[in-house]
Structure 1
């Protein structure tokens, strides 16, 4: 049986107090970062290859179904506003299409060739990379896409929370944070989903840093899409240049990004 389907280590959780439930969930969550840590060498291998491929106009595709697909879309959607990357460099696809983001379309994950078919609208090239996300490691929509991508010369990777899975065997790089059974038996939106999210954070954050989208420890290319981000950007400029906050804000709005201010402003 898959690790993610094993019985919870906690019996009679329906009889627990709220405090006992929360403590149990927290105890299980503490195991996740340890599982992810073991996978750093594999994540490093993927990111190192991605840097060169993205520089050569390749793209990063995340494919998944259900929770896994939604996590990929979430990570992809945050890259342009956070790092100022153009739309379409990191792309998230979910079995069942965009309507599956909000409403479960469970049967869509069984379409073996659906993932690769969904990618065709993007004019795939050999510099692209496919990362399949599947807690079970057995999702046909994802496995089929990885195998089709392999046949077409793309780099492939997988993120799964079960050992020796079909998706890991299919991918060039298999990332496997195994965190044990869920607190609520089989509910992979919990530990497995959290582990996947942590890995996705690591992939794209390290990738964007190595692509030059961070200066020091600051998101200097972030999009100024709301008041909070204008304030954050202004504070970055104050910290870097030692000028008054109002002047920093004026310069930020004039030049459009923290990076542009730092590149153009002379003290």
Structure 2
């Protein structure tokens, strides 16, 4: 396969560019990303529908990846509990090399084709769950092995990749191929490819959580009130939803612990 993610940058002599030129050209390349995503909306929709259906029955959503891709999955998974009030075991991000790889690369961790299934099996994964493999190249052995084993065990699988017709895409039920082209710095897939993966993950998890009833109107009524900013946001939500004063909203929030419960018990 030809890897567009590894192709030479359209720009050269980067070290001779001014800061303004660097920023302008990086931004120019970044603008490609949402248009590339627009071309695969039908595939993203299929993944959201499959994940929502299974999660409504108690299933879970797993992300597996290595390096930047693995970190992006962990970020998305870790943001679901505070944003939508779901427990930490509903959306789970797994990175090659384990948690220590979140901050520091673990050498050759991504090359073990069997380890991802071992990592998934530790969660007693079942057919009610969904596994999404994330790999810009679409060739990462850790991710390929994980989705292949998951699919063989009757689990719905998908992937987010940035190359066409990759080995990873061939192993999943629904491949999401966001073709963003060569990076500004040749091969640095933390740039456009990483941005594309982040945007798609945002779309998937947010849409799934809305399907699960975790948003009311356009508000995060199940968010965890983990700091003063979020407490104030909750109070403002109650004031707007219930047409009550700041003091009344604060009292309700203090009593019931979150926005949804406060609304339901008003």
Fold match (TM-score > 0.5): yes
- Equivalent residue for 1:75? 76
Q: Give yes or no for the alignment of 1:157 onto 2:158.
A: yes
**Alpha-carbon contact 1:126-1:152 (below 8 Å) kept:** yes
Aligned-partner Cα distance in 1 for 2:107–2:198: 21
CA shift, 1:250, in A, is 1.6
- Equivalent residue for 1:62? 63
**Alpha-carbon contact 1:66-1:106 (below 8 Å) kept:** no
Aligned-partner Cα distance in 2 for 1:245–1:71: 37
Deviations 1:66-110 (A, max 9, x none): 000000000000101100001101000000000000001140000
Q: Give the structure-1-normalised TM-score.
A: 0.98
- Equivalent residue for 2:125? 124
Query: Higher mean Cα deviation, 6-15 or 193-202?
Result: 6-15
Q: Secondary structure at the match of 2:122?
A: helix
Aligned-partner Cα distance in 2 for 1:234–1:106: 47
- Equivalent residue for 2:146? 145
Structure 1 residues 178-193: aligned runs within 5 Å: 178-193=179-194
- Equivalent residue for 2:238? 237
Q: What residue ranges of structure 2 are gaps of 5+ in the alignment?
A: none
Q: Secondary structure at the match of 2:94?
A: strand
- Equivalent residue for 2:20? 19
- Equivalent residue for 2:167? 166
What's the C-alpha RMSD, in Å, of the aligned pairs? 0.7
Query: Higher mean Cα deviation, 246-255 or 88-97?
Result: 246-255
Aligned-partner Cα distance in 1 for 2:127–2:37: 29
**Alpha-carbon contact 1:137-1:167 (below 8 Å) kept:** yes
- Equivalent residue for 2:99? 98
Q: What residue ranges of structure 1 are gaps of 5+ in the alignment?
A: none
Q: Give yes or no for the alignment of 1:226 onto 2:227.
A: yes
